């Protein structure tokens, strides 16, 4: 085992697979890339292949059920861990087939796994609550099915060191997307939205990053609820475009406690999932508002754009100017959300990460390929200024084939 990693240390470049599925639990996004160098300006990522493997419906439904606070039984979580491991292995092997690259030519897999529960630590004046987080997708299964060393379970070490365990992607945003001339925000709109502030000439420890709140999560849950599961999301923002925003419902949503909490902070389904969505839906239908389904989706879409813009105004602008917002994640494919965001952020240039060589659907899987390589080379991968951890930590666990 030591030998394998000694060999990696001697090579200047590494071929790495990154596997990621976010809180939307829609698909496993897989990338194969060659990574060389280190540090800002030094790290280079060449994307060789990309593959997105949708979860089969039965598995997605079981994952979403297990994510609810009333959740899955320990037997269900146990079985899901192995099933998700199989799904991740399938995605990795499909990626390799697509790329034409043999598994012997791949040095490492970095697998984020599927978050099933994320309970951030909270410090208050009278209480202290330790955080906990659980990502499923058994790495032993992935190592067995692919024959490639796997690095997994990235979040736990940061959390054990007092951090939020999230966000971890800012480390890679800093390396790949920062600029010497432009003050940038890297914004990922997945199920949850998170931002990384990259001031021009900024130092690593000056980087701010946190979850702003919902990304597509409320929109997806509303659409799923109202179409009785027929649709999983508002494709191209069509429902939102045909609906009207309900100001009362928007106001009710805006009362969510998370939005006022200062960073470092992270969130998930526990705060913006199905329970919140149904509560808002019921609130809307019980308060004398006759709200059409499309109006609810329009309201949730504006709410999402506003929470992102407000988080930037409230928590980033006091620290420095913003010239550009670089968007990634599936939310970048929702033109209504993107237009509302541009409107809320008038004066700031809003574009997508593809323009910087990072395809929107690949950013997070690239990030876990980079983080796996950092671990394999013995370098820390968390950003304490973003997670609140006591210091830099070597992330993840290693499973050899």
Ligand X SMILES: Nc1ncnc2c1ncn2[C@@H]1O[C@H](COP(=O)(O)OP(=O)(O)O)[C@@H](O)[C@H]1O
Binding site for ligand X (CB under 6 A): 21-24, 26, 190-191, 216, 220, 233-237, 329-331, 333-334
d(CA 41, CA 152): 26
Give the interface segment with Mg ion, choosing from 22-30, 120-128, 221-229, 252-260 (CB under 5 A). Answer: 22-30
Pairwise CA distance, residues 104 & 290, whole Å: 60
Residue 226 near residue 239, CB atoms below 8 Å: no
Size of the site for Mg ion (CB under 5 A): 3
| Minimum distance, C-beta of residue 29 to ligand X, in the bound complex (Å) | 6
Q: Which residues of 302-334 are buried (b: 16+ CB within 10 A; e: fewer)?
A: bbbbbbbbbbbeebbeeeeebebbbbbbbbbbb
Q: Which is nearer to Mg ion, 134 or 140 (CB)?
A: 134
Among ligand X, Mg ion, none, the one that 235 touches (CB under a kind-dependent 5 to 8 A) is: ligand X
Binding site partner of 329, from ligand X, Mg ion, none, Cβ cut-off 5-8 A by kind: ligand X
Contact 261, 384 (CB under 8 A): no
The minimum distance between CB 26 and ligand X, in angstroms, equals 5
Which residue in the block uniquely carries the two structure tokens 């109006």?
295
The contact mask relative to Mg ion for 24-53 (x = CB under 5 A, - = no) is x-x---------------------------
CB of 154 to Mg ion, least distance (A): 17
Locus of tokens 């087939």: 97
d(CA 395, CA 60): 27
Q: Residue 331 or 384: which CB sits closer to ligand X? A: 331
Closest distance of CB 247 from Mg ion, Å: 31
Q: How many CA within 13 A on the CB side of residue 59?
A: 22
- Closest residue by Cα to residue 64 from 296, 273, 212, 277: 273
Nearest to 369 by CA among 43, 121, 136: 43
Q: Which one of 19-27, 230-238, 300-308, 384-392 is the stretch in contact with Mg ion (CB under 5 A)?
A: 19-27
Q: Which of ligand X, Mg ion, none binds 133 (CB below 5-8 Å, type-dependent)?
A: none
234 interface partner picked from ligand X, Mg ion, none, CB below 5 to 8 A per type = ligand X
Residue 334 binds: one of Mg ion, ligand X, none (C-beta under 5 to 8 A by kind):
ligand X
For the record, the structure tokens of 229 come out as: 């599961």
d(CA 130, CA 359): 36
**Three-state secondary-structure class, residue 382:** coil
Q: Which residues in 168-187 contact Mg ion (CB under 5 A)?
A: none
Q: CA 235, CA 354: separation in Å to the nearest integer? A: 20
113 near Mg ion, judged by CB under 5 A: no
**22 near Mg ion (CB under 5 A):** yes
Residue 264 preceded by cis peptide, ω within 30: yes
Q: Which is nearer to Mg ion, 217 or 280 (CB)?
A: 217
- Between 11 and 343, whose beta carbon lies closer to ligand X? 343
Strands, DSSP E only, in 231-374?
Answer: 324-328, 349-352
Q: Which is nearer to ligand X, 22 or 139 (CB)?
A: 22
Least Cβ distance, residue 292 to ligand X (angstroms): 19
Residue 213: name its binding partner from Mg ion, ligand X, none (Cβ under 5 to 8 Å by kind). Answer: none
212 binds, among ligand X, Mg ion, none (CB under 5 to 8 A by kind): none
In angstroms, what is the minimal distance from the CB of 304 to ligand X?
A: 10
User: What is the distance of C-alpha 5 from the center of its chain?
Assistant: 28
Least distance between Mg ion and beta carbon 270 (Å):
18
* DSSP H/E element including 220: helix 217-226
Find the shortest distance in angstroms from Cβ 87 to ligand X: 13
Say which entry of ligand X, Mg ion, none residue 243 contacts (CB below 5 to 8 A, set by partner kind). none
Smallest separation, CB 237 to ligand X (Å): 6
CA-to-CA separations, 282 to 139, 222, 243, 277, 321, in angstroms, rounded: 41, 12, 18, 9, 40
Toward Mg ion, which CB reaches closer, 88 or 315? 88
Least Å from the CB of residue 218 to ligand X = 10
What is the binding site for Mg ion (CB under 5 A)?
22, 24, 26
């Amino acid at each position: 085992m030591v030998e394998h990693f000694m060999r990696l240390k001697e090579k200047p470049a590494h071929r790495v697979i990154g596997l990621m599925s976010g809180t939307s639990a829609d698909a496993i996004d897989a990338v194969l890339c060659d990574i060389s160098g280190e540090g800002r300006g030094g790290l280079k990522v060449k994307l060789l292949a990309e593959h997105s493997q949708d979860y089969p419906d039965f598995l997605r439904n079981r994952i979403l059920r297990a994510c609810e606070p009333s959740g899955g039984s320990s037997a269900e979580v146990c079985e899901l861990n192995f099933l998700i491991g199989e799904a991740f292995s399938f995605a990795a092997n499909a990626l390799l087939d697509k790329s034409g690259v043999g598994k012997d030519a791949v040095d490492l897999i970095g697998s984020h796994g599927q978050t099933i529960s994320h309970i951030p630590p909270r410090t208050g004046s009278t209480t202290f609550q330790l955080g906990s987080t659980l990502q499923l997708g058994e790495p032993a299964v992935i190592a067995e099915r692919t024959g490639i060393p796997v690095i997994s379970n990235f979040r736990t070490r940061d959390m054990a060191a007092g951090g939020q365990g999230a966000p971890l992607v800012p480390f890679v945003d800093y390396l790949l997307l920062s600029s010497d001339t432009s003050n940038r925000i890297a914004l990922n709109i997945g199920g949850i939205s998170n931002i990384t502030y990259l001031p021009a000439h900024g130092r690593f420890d000056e980087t701010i990053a946190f979850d702003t709140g919902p990304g597509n999560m409320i929109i997806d849950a509303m659409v799923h609820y109202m179409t009785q599961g027929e649709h999983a999301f508002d494709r191209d923002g069509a429902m939102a475009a045909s609906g009207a925003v309900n100001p009362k419902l928007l106001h009710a949503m805006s009362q969510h406690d998370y939005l006022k909490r200062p960073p470092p902070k992270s969130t998930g389904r526990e705060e913006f999932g199905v329970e919140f969505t149904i509560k808002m839906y019921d609130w809307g239908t019980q308060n004398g508002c006759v709200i059409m389904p499309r109006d609810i989706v329009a309201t949730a879409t504006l709410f999402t754009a506003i929470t992102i813009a407000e988080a930037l105004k409230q928590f980033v602008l006091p620290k420095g100017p913003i010239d550009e917002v670089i968007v990634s994640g599936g939310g970048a494919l929702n033109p209504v959300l993107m237009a509302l965001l541009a409107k809320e952020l008038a004066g700031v240039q809003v574009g997508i990460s593809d323009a910087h060589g990072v395809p929107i659907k690949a950013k997070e899987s690239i990030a876990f390929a980079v983080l796996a390589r950092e671990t394999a080379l013995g370098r820390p991968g968390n950003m304490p200024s973003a997670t609140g951890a006591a210091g830099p930590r070597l992330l993840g666990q290693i499973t050899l084939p």
